Amino acid sequence: MPDATATNVPPVIRTRGLCRSFAMGASTVRALRGVDLVIERGEYVAIMGPSGSGKSTLMNLIGCLDTPSEGEYWLNGQPVATLGEEELARVRNHEIGFVFQTFNLLARASAARNVELPLIYGGVPPAERRQRAIEALAQVDLADRMDHRPNQLSGGQRQRVSIARALVTRPALLLADEPTGNLDSKTSYEIMALFDKLHRDGNTIVVVTHERDIAEHAQRIVTIRDGVVASDEQNVPRPVGTETA
Amino acid sequence: MNIVESTRLAIESIWANRLRSFLTLLGVIIGIASIISTAAVINGLNHYVSEKLSNLGQGVFVVKRIGIITNRQDFLDAIRKNRRLTTADGKALVERCPSAAAVAWQAAVTRDVVREGLEIRDTSISGVTPAVLQIEPFDVDAGRVISQLEEDRAAPVAFVGADVVEQLFPNSDPIGKRIRVSGQPLEVIGVAAKKGSFLGFSQDNFVKIPYSLHRKMFGSWPSVDLSVQAADPARMQDTMDEVRAVLRARHHLRPAQPDDFSMVTAEGINDLWRSMTQTIFSIALFVVGISLVVGGIVIMNIMLVSVVERTREIGVRKAVGARQKDIVQQFLIEAVLLSCLGGLIGVLLALGAAELLGAYTPLPARFPPWAPPTAFVICTAIGVFFGISPAKKAASLDPIEALRAE
């Protein structure tokens, strides 16, 4: 990972005093109360915390699905807190790959069409789109299932399609929200092994989870509690790749 | 996202909900089909009337005792006040209207025609001066038309329509054979080309005989119609003024009194006809317009349902980089495509209806060529108008909320 060590490369994520409040009737709920976080290129970070801790809100902000009430956020050195709707859409398209707990695949589209989706919005021409979708599916070992629809795939395969969709734009950041939350433990290990491999390939990965053993795969575990960073520590990843096929 | 992708998505979505899409479109389908069918019938009638009137020829007008009557009071007044037109009126026009190239007259009664036990009923028996057949030319199928000599001698000859030949001469050549009208034997000298029927009335059930013979047989009581051909078609109005002056003088009308006859021109009939069909069409358009609005509202409703159903899909699309305008475009194209699909089915139905009407009813339906492009424009407008609000609703969904939707 030579990029990660180069001094002139900005961190993938840099936040300063990130706050997010929600109006709930008359009162205001302060979900985030000033988060400072820096994630360098090539890092593999788990964000942990109990429900209600603000980790989902943080993930939405990092994923540019939401804009902060206060504070600043640079994604790849680019300030995104002030971006408008169209620019946020462009950032989501180019810079971020999302992996959701519930996969969020389009039911009527084949695996390949699902993976192509971000490229469609990115304006990539059809032939190149198909080629890149095939390559992304090959990265998750699903090249032979490209014409299958989500309902013809197992849970683990669906999640791998969704990872391929996240990878296909070659984003700066792979953002996974409880990626194994809907999978059994064996399939969970397969998916985590895939994340481990993607990390070794040089991808920057942020996984949001409330499960300790999922977080153990990351090199760094950030714990959020009551809207602030409660702990931020390095972790020695548990080797997992060996016990899965 | 480009139009091709949006269109593909829209087609996939419409196809995935085939039955629902079809039911949604019924309003638009019925609306478009009925308006085009109405237009086809009116177009057919207009075409027919224009064709008929063009037979009348350039610069020709007809003076009648009772013209085209559009209300009951006019009709009663005309019956009471208008004098019968006579051959003397016709002869006066020949003498005193220098700008008329030809003046002819004819009178008609309805009688049965018989031949050797065969019979055709309710045939129009008209006495015509030979000039009538020049002014209003007939296509002659066989034989010839009535000559001046036959008119002068009141010769017992007949120029007959195709129905008369079909009924009385099923297997033989009618030329030179005899038919009888009210006991008077007539020699068939010519047969007119078949014209077919109009609104269920056959136009081939007629016998034309010399006017002089007609007068002998039926007396001078029936009012005659005077056909006048202006020498210069461009100056027909001058000829009409001349004719009016002559007839008013002959009928001793004071300046303040209205004409007690009417003059009918091809343009006049055509204008009247068109204003009638225009009215019918406007009413039909209004009624069908309501069904199109209802059809549009149904489309809007189903699009709103579709937005709710696909909230999560919209969330996913936004998460992977769809802009609001991409979502608007996708749903708008779906609404427009849905509406245009309804229009297409409607046009096809109308095409079939026009064929069926033409084949199985007396209405001369004629599919108007402007109908498909017009239907396309109207349906696009309906799709945009009723699709924009659901599309905007979809686009304005908050991606986080949308992703959480069940």
**B5 contacts A120? CB cut-off 8 A:** yes
The radius of gyration of chain B from alpha carbons, rounded to an integer in Å, stands at: 32
**C-alpha closest to that of A17 among A71, A62, A64, A68:** A71
pLDDT at A239: 61
According to the model, what pLDDT value does residue B337 have? 93
Give the tens place of pLDDT for each residue, B291-308: 888 889 999 999 999 999
**Which of A85, A165, A169 is closest, CB to CB, to B323?**
A85
Q: Which residues does chain A have within 8 Å of residue B324's beta carbon, measured at their own beta carbons?
A: 85-86, 89
Chain A hits for B1, CB-CB cut-off 8 Å, are: 120-121, 123
Contact between residue A167 and residue A99 where contact means Cβ atoms under 8 Å apart: no
Is the pLDDT at A3 greater than 70? The verdict is: no
Q: Tell me whether residues B320 and A117 touch, CB distance under 8 A.
A: yes
Which residues in chain B are closer than 8 Å to A123, comparing Cβ atoms? 1-2
| Residue A59 exposure: Cα atoms within 13 Å on the Cβ side | 32
Neighbours of B396 (CB within 10 A): 12
What's the CA gap between B364 and B196, in Å, rounded?
Answer: 11
**ipTM associated with this complex:** 0.89
Q: Compute the distance between CA of residue B406 and CA of residue B396 in angstroms, rounded to an integer.
A: 18
CA–CA separation, A228 and A31 (whole Å): 9
Chain B residue closest in CA terms to A115 = B320
Mean pLDDT value of segment A54-76: 90
**Lowest-pLDDT range of B64-68, B324-328, B380-384:** B64-68
For the segment B227-240, the average pLDDT, to the nearest whole number, is: 88
pLDDT of residue B13: 85
Distance CA A217, CA A214 (A): 6
Q: Do A85 and B324 touch (CB under 8 A)?
A: yes
* Residue % of chain B over a pLDDT of 70: 98
Strand A173-177 relative to strand A205-209: parallel, antiparallel, unpaired? parallel
Which residues from B are below 8 Å from A when comparing CB atoms? 1-2, 5, 12-13, 16, 312-313, 315-326, 399-400, 403
Q: Over chain B, what is the mean pLDDT?
A: 88
Q: What is the pLDDT of residues B185-205, one digit of tens each?
A: 999 999 998 887 776 778 889
Q: Would the CB atoms of A104 and B1 count as touching at under 8 Å?
A: no
Asked whether the beta carbons of residue A86 and residue B400 sit closer than 8 angstroms, the reply is: no
* Cα dihedral: B266, B270, B273, B274 (round 10): -170
Band (pLDDT 50/70/90 cuts) for residue A244 is very low
Q: Which of A30-44, B134-148, B304-318 has the lowest mean pLDDT?
A: B134-148
Which of B323, B326, B399 has the CB atom closest to A65's CB atom? Answer: B399
Structural domains of chain A in order of their starting residue, each with its CATH number: 43-66+84-236 (3.40.50.300)
* Inter-chain touch B317–A92, beta carbons under 8 Å: no
Answer for the pair B366, B47: CB distance below 8 angstroms, yes or no: yes
Residues above pLDDT 90, as percent of chain A: 58
pLDDT in tens, B75-112: 888 788 888 888 889 889 989 888 888 899 999 899 99
Please tell me the predicted confidence (pLDDT) of residue B56: 66
Distance CA B219, CA B227 (A): 20
Write the pLDDT tens digit of every residue in B114-172. Answer: 998 899 999 999 999 988 877 877 788 889 999 999 999 999 999 999 999 999 998 88
How many residues would you count in chain B? Answer: 406
CA distances from B129 to A17, B143, B150, B166, B364 (A): 108, 18, 10, 26, 32
The pLDDT score that the predictor gives to residue A2 is 47
Q: Is pLDDT of A243 > 70?
A: no
Q: What would the pLDDT profile of B17-43 be if each residue is shown by its tens digit? A: 889 889 989 989 998 998 888 888 888
Q: Region A103-126: what's the mean pLDDT?
A: 91
Chain B residues with beta carbon closer than 8 angstroms to that of A117: 316-317, 320
Q: What stretch of H or E contains A34?
A: strand A27-39
